[in-house]
Amino acid sequence: MCTTCGCGNGETRIEKRTASLRNHEAFLTEKTPVEHNINKIESFTKVFSNSKLIEVEKSILSKNDHFAELNRKCLIENNVCALNLLSSPGAGKTSLLTRTIESLLSKAPPVTAETNHKQSTIAVIEGDQETSHDAARIRATGVPAIQINTGKGCHLDAHMVGHALEAFDLSKLSTLFIENVGNLVCPAGFDLGEQAKVVILSVTEGEDKPLKYPGMFHVADLLLLNKIDLLPYLAFELDTCIENARKVNPAIEVIKLSAQTGEGMDQWLEWLSRRQYKQAST
């Protein structure tokens, strides 16, 4: 359930898959509805006083934060760097993610008895309201992915992610990408246990988005300005967009890139490398 709109009570489906890195093609096909404790709260369709609404919102977030801490502890214990990727629909999250994975795999050292294969092992949790199209695109890169379909839900929560984590052998992972549902509002309020939040904004969306959706940009550690190859064809003020983002969050880092041409990808991969090192040294 969302603290903003009360969506998606009891409609989540998580693929039941054997996501072992040794054999991530050994998948089961059925999907099973998952009941979440954070959804066992009075429906938002009832009329609440302001005090009751605040009480329910606190209850939802406190339950989510509990599950997020369990996820975080598990990820830290296994030295897994988890990143929460956020954007509106169509910003290019999946295209950027597939290119990122391909780049990371191409740069990974060959696995030998002397090398630590955790340096290159990657997995993905995909969040969408329906379909498993994006998860299929991820698996085509050779990386295991678990699909979470949220039904009417507009975001992932920590309990959903915790169930998905059970499908992976975390001891063999170094990096986990969590591709959240496309939405610049509700996902901002839910900690998943990740190390960092990365918001992806396409230059086709307008430079005022950080001001229109300040909650998302306020919690983000990094802003990826995607599709910069289209700038010659758009009336998009790049500097104004960055200025707007830093009005909301002065500490936000910014990288300009294109998943299509590869421009700026080296900066993004270097940022990832720093995050992976930070996690490993925690």
The 3-class secondary structure across 24-40, one letter per residue, is CCCEEEEEEECCCHHHC
Q: In b/e form, how buried is each residue of 255-266, taking b as 16+ CB within 10 angstroms? A: bbbbbeeeebbe
Q: Give the model's pLDDT for residue 21.
A: 46
Quickly tell me which residue has 């039904």 as its tokens: 151
| Alpha-carbon gap, residue 201 to 90, rounded angstroms | 9
Q: Which residues are CB-neighbours of 15 under 8 A, at least 6 positions away?
A: 27, 28, 31, 132, 135, 146, 147, 148, 167
More confidently predicted of 188 and 3: 188
State the average pLDDT for the chain. Answer: 85
| Alpha-carbon gap, residue 98 to 84, rounded angstroms | 15
Give the torsion sign (CA, 98, 101, 107, 112): negative
Both tokens of 97, joined, read 């993610």
Q: Give the model's pLDDT for residue 107.
A: 83
Instruction: Please say whether the beta carbons of 221 and 253 come within 8 A.
Output: yes
More confidently predicted of 190 and 44: 190
Q: Is the pLDDT of residue 30 over 50?
A: no
Instruction: Please say whether the beta carbons of 210 and 87 come within 8 A.
Output: no
| Alpha-carbon gap, residue 96 to 262, rounded angstroms | 9
Q: Give the model's pLDDT for residue 120.
A: 60
| Alpha-carbon gap, residue 202 to 197, rounded angstroms | 16
User: Which is it for strands 81-86 and 122-128: parallel, antiparallel or unpaired?
Assistant: unpaired
Q: Give the model's pLDDT for residue 8.
A: 59
Both tokens of 157, joined, read 């929560």
Looking at the chain, the whole-number percentage of residues with pLDDT higher than 70 is 76
Q: Give the model's pLDDT for residue 18.
A: 52
The 10s digit of each residue's pLDDT in 141-189 is 999 999 999 998 999 999 999 999 999 999 999 999 999 999 999 999 9
Q: Give the model's pLDDT for residue 260.
A: 97
Both tokens of 246, joined, read 């830093």
Both tokens of 262, joined, read 């590869």
Average of per-residue pLDDT across 7-28:
57
Give the torsion sign (CA, 62, 135, 87, 150): negative
Instruction: Please say whether the beta carbons of 198 and 275 come within 8 A.
Output: no
Instruction: Please say whether the beta carbons of 257 and 263 come within 8 A.
Output: yes
More confidently predicted of 272 and 27: 272
Q: Is the pLDDT of residue 45 over 70?
A: no
Distance set, CA 99 to CA 37, 92, 106 (Å)? 36, 11, 11
The 10s digit of each residue's pLDDT in 213-252 is 999 999 999 999 999 999 999 999 999 999 999 999 999 9
The 10s digit of each residue's pLDDT in 73-105 is 999 999 999 999 999 999 999 999 999 999 999
Q: Give the model's pLDDT for residue 177.
A: 98
Phi, psi (degrees; rounded to nearest 5) at 225: -90, 105
Average of per-residue pLDDT across 114-130:
79
Nearest Cα neighbor of 146 from 122, 164, 121, 172 is: 164
Q: Is the pLDDT of residue 116 over 60?
A: no
